[in-house]
Amino acid sequence: MRRQKAIAVLVAAAMAMTFLAGCGKKEDTSGGQAPPAPETAPEGAAAPPVEKPAPTQAETPAVEDANAAAETAPPSPRFLGEVLVSWNTNKRDEAVQKFLAIQWDAPTAFQGIPMLVMSEQQLAALSPEQRGRIVKETQNLSDLLRIIVAHMIATGEAKAAAGDTDGAKAHFAAVQRCGEAMAKPGRMQDVQAMGQAIAQLAREKLAATQ
């Protein structure tokens, strides 16, 4: 939309320059005489209304189309990396909301976190240095995920205690889906094991929430 507005401004400026150039040519052919001064309205008389130019057909549909596209565009999918960023910047409530909004069965759920979608074969194909780095990063991520999952579970339990059964189930269900996504076949064994543990914990919490 910004690009379309910029184009519209450039077109308007070009039209204004063309108009001014044409006025200059007319003045040159008048023999150098200044144009007569416009007649002033008698004192007390209302000035004639000034009509504003209507928007051109080339500009209006383009702007309207851009606005409509922005309003109907689907929201960007959430992914775990956004949750980690919010959590690490102490925006805990924001992290929880993003966690709840993730579509865990979507291919974008673990976008930018290759160790969560890497297979054992892919890990074995790396150099010893790369494998060591991936294993260390996976361990660090696992520790952080355990903290976030524990917070999600605690928040769900608090909602259940307050009588918000639907809110509690939403938190537990999000944790379960996260664990199931991590435990999919083709992941590294450590990632699968952690996912299975997370999903099982969430199932137990869901079963206990009536």
User: How far is Cα 98 from Cα 111, in angstroms, rounded to an integer?
Assistant: 14
In this predicted structure, what is the pLDDT of residue 130?
94
For residues 177 and 66, give the distance between their C-alpha atoms in angstroms, rounded to a whole number: 36
Percent of the chain at pLDDT > 90 equals: 61
Residues 111-123: pLDDT tens digits?
999 999 999 999 9
* CA proximity to 196, closest of 207, 178, 185, 180: 180
H or E stretch covering 153: helix 128-161
pLDDT of residue 188: 95
Residue 136 has pLDDT above 60, yes or no: yes
Q: List, for residues 67-89, the tens digit of each pLDDT value.
A: 554 444 445 568 999 999 999 99
Question: 63 Cβ partners below 8 Å, 6+ apart?
Answer: 1, 4, 5, 8
Q: How far apart are CA 53 and CA 56, in angstroms?
A: 9
Torsion angle (degrees, nearest 10) of CA 123, 148, 176, 165 = -170
pLDDT at position 210: 75
Residue 40 backbone zone (phi > 0: left; psi -120 to 50: alpha; other: beta): beta
14-62 pLDDT, tens digit per residue, is: 444 443 344 444 444 444 454 454 455 455 555 555 555 555 554 455 4
